[in-house]
Amino acid sequence: MGDTGSRRLRLLSLLQTRRFWLGTELSEQLGVSLRTLRRDVDRLRELGYPVDADRGVGGGYQLAHGASLPPLVLDDEEAVAVAVGLLTSTQSPISDIAETSARALAKVIPVMPSRLRRRIEALKSVTVSAESSWSGTQIDSQALVAAARGCRDDERITFDYKTVDGTQSSRKAEPHQLVTLGRRWYLVAYDVDRMDWRTFRLDRMSSVENTGAKFGRRQIPGGDAGSFVRKGFSRNVSCPAVAEVAGSADAVRSAIGNWARVTEISAHRCRIEVDTESLDWAVATVGFSGFPVVEASPPDFADHLRAWTQRLSPPD
């Protein structure tokens, strides 16, 4: 491929990495004049790439939403990451995503260079999933996409929301960040009507619409969306499920990750605290530790743990 073709591929790659580029920035990146840059942009348009131009002061370029998806330019690492992401998504609890990901994976792998295809095929052939949907809920993929777009583009969204007690309401919000916690998706957003920050569960959101209205980003309380979700979640749980197990804190943390708080009691004993609405999930988290339970509280969790123990015990 000649220098001109390579430069245009480089231009396309740059346009895909950011939402908006100033013309001067692109010309500096490519080492060409603004006039040459305009010719390259025109050529990309002829090839079907929807490149929008802002001709005002400080004008620039961005890839617009096209009627069809044009070819994308990925480097080796990005191509492998996409394929691994699709492979993981074949086990997704998001409605329609698992089947769609499998179809996309079947299209992506055959067109990869052989050096990359062998890596992905090897991973695919030796990987199975032991995951199961503990939450028992599915997320509307359209709701997830609309929320993600609102976060990315600083665009207000409207949606219907169902609270834990079944109350329905219509919301208008400024979405800031999506968070995954305990096998669920949450949206951290500023509720415009209530003039306060809220955490919304994606599986309780419906009829999510992007309004096109832009907003100025606000500072999330505490500065971190993940911490904000955890803090609000803890407030909603009247009493966490607690279990003391006969294992070291380091070993338990390694087994259960960030699903619970682990506190060392002694070299061979630690406390597991799980903030959850589901006692089944608390039992599963403690079970994942792999160590015997010595004590458990509150009483309803201890009873639930005993019931599961009896249910899983083989008959005499």
Please give the model's pTM, rounded to 2 decimal places: 0.49
Q: What is the mean pLDDT of residues 63-71?
A: 64
Residue 95: is its pLDDT beyond 70?
Answer: no
* Rounded Cα distance, 139 and 314, in Å: 36
Tokens 């599961």 correspond to 308
Residue 113: is its pLDDT beyond 90?
Answer: no
Residue 87: is its pLDDT beyond 80?
Answer: no
Confidence of residue 178 (pLDDT cuts 50, 70, 90): confident
Quote the pLDDT of residue 308.
86
Percentage of the chain surpassing pLDDT 70? 80
Residue 293: is its pLDDT beyond 90?
Answer: yes
Enumerate residues 6+ apart whose C-beta is below 8 A from 30.
Answer: 7, 10, 11, 14, 36, 37, 40
Question: Under a CB-based contact definition with an 8 Å cutoff, are residues 217 and 154 in contact?
Answer: yes
Enumerate residues 6+ apart whose C-beta is below 8 A from 283.
Answer: 304, 305, 308
Structural domains for the chain: 3-63 (1.10.10.10), 76-126 (no CATH), 141-236 (2.30.30.520), 241-312 (3.30.70)
Quote the pLDDT of residue 208.
93
Q: Express each pLDDT in 214-223 by its tens digit.
A: 999 899 988 8
Quote the pLDDT of residue 292.
92
Quote the pLDDT of residue 215.
93
Question: Under a CB-based contact definition with an 8 Å cutoff, are residues 220 and 176 in contact?
Answer: yes
Residue 109: is its pLDDT beyond 90?
Answer: no
Quote the pLDDT of residue 57.
61
Closest Cα to residue 269, out of 297, 301, 291? 291
Report the chain's terminal Cα–Cα distance, integer Å: 73
Q: Average pLDDT of the chain?
A: 81
Q: What is the mean pLDDT of residues 242-246?
A: 94
Q: What is the mean pLDDT of residues 187-202?
A: 92
Q: What is the mean pLDDT of residues 272-276?
A: 85
Quote the pLDDT of residue 102.
67
Q: Express each pLDDT in 32-50 by its tens digit.
A: 998 999 999 998 888 878 8
Question: Under a CB-based contact definition with an 8 Å cutoff, are residues 89 and 97 in contact?
Answer: yes
Quote the pLDDT of residue 276.
73
Confidence of residue 272 (pLDDT cuts 50, 70, 90): very high
